[in-house]
Structure 1
Amino acid sequence: MTKNVSRKPTAAELDLLRLIWQLGPSTVREVHQAAIKDRPDLASATVLRLMQVMHTKGLLTRDETQKSHVYAAAQGQDSLQTNLLKDLIHKAFSGSAKDLVMAALRGHVSKEEKAEIQKLLNEDEK
């Protein structure tokens, strides 16, 4: 089966990717143990199925040299987030990063986050 790295992760796949980025290369059991802290109802079989699909999509790599396969993210967190953001800017904001930022600032950013953003902008001006 051909792997397609350009396939975008679903929300559930992103949840698992976040865990794998935190844990590093991991077995299904290790990812499941980490996942059930937030989702105690999550079955191990569901994690296995998701990780197999993610491997097929090219989101995960798999080391099959050990008895328990070890999965790792195929892309770093920053790289994948940047690609997803570029796609969002292109699709939802007609390629305008400014429009994305303005939409985010109109109600999706706390006062503390706005202050942090302002500090960053002030540092860039120096």
Structure 2
Amino acid sequence: MQAKPTESELEILAILWPMKQATVREIHEKLTETKDTGYTTTLKTMQIMHAKGLLRRDEQNRTHIYFPAVDETVTQKNLVTNFMATAFGGSAKNLVMQALGQGNPSKEELDEIRAFLDQLENEQ
């Protein structure tokens, strides 16, 4: 079973997934674009993530390079499944209705949602 990332760990993973690999400094620079955090906090969080198995680390050079050890899609699926079970009593309908009611989806997004629903129906 994959460790569940905290909110801070998820922020780091969201930066690292598209980058594929990065140093603590690179991750910290991206983080500080949106939040006020210290370098040592970023370092400690990434060390904890490594210990939890969320990150892998190449220690060949003086500057360690970190890699995601968890798949983005699998992590998202696990988080949504957990959230749906705890916050919405396991109801996908209630989760989707709440999510759509909070945002203002574009026509393109609604078209994609309709196409996805059609695909789900055709698979049953």
Query: TM-score band (shorter)?
Result: 0.7 to 0.9
Match of 2:86 among 88, 91, 105: 91
Percent of aligned pairs with the same residue? 41
Cα deviation, residue 120, structure 1: 3.7
Q: Encode CA deviations 1:2-37: one digit per residue, 9 max, x unaligned.
A: xxx633211111111111112211111111122222
> 2:118, 2:55 → 1: CA distance?
38
Q: Which segments of structure 1 move beyond 4 Å, counting only runs of 4 or more?
A: 122-126
2:102 pairs with 1:108:
yes
In 1, the alpha carbon distance for the partners of 2:29 and 2:79 equals 27
CA change 1:122–1:7 in 2 (3 A) is: closer
Root-mean-square deviation (CA), in Å?
Answer: 2.2
- Using the size of structure 1 for normalisation, the TM-score is 0.79
Q: Number of paired residues?
A: 120
Structure 1 regions of 5+ residues with no counterpart?
none
Gaps of 5+ in 2: none
1:31 maps to what in 2?
A: 27
Structure in which a larger fraction of residues adopt helix = 2
- Aligned mates of 1:103, 1:36 — CA distance in 2: 31
Q: Over residues 31-83 of structure 1, what are the superposed CA-to-partner deviations in whole Å (9 max), with x where a residue is unaligned?
A: 112222223x3221111011011112211111222211111111121111011
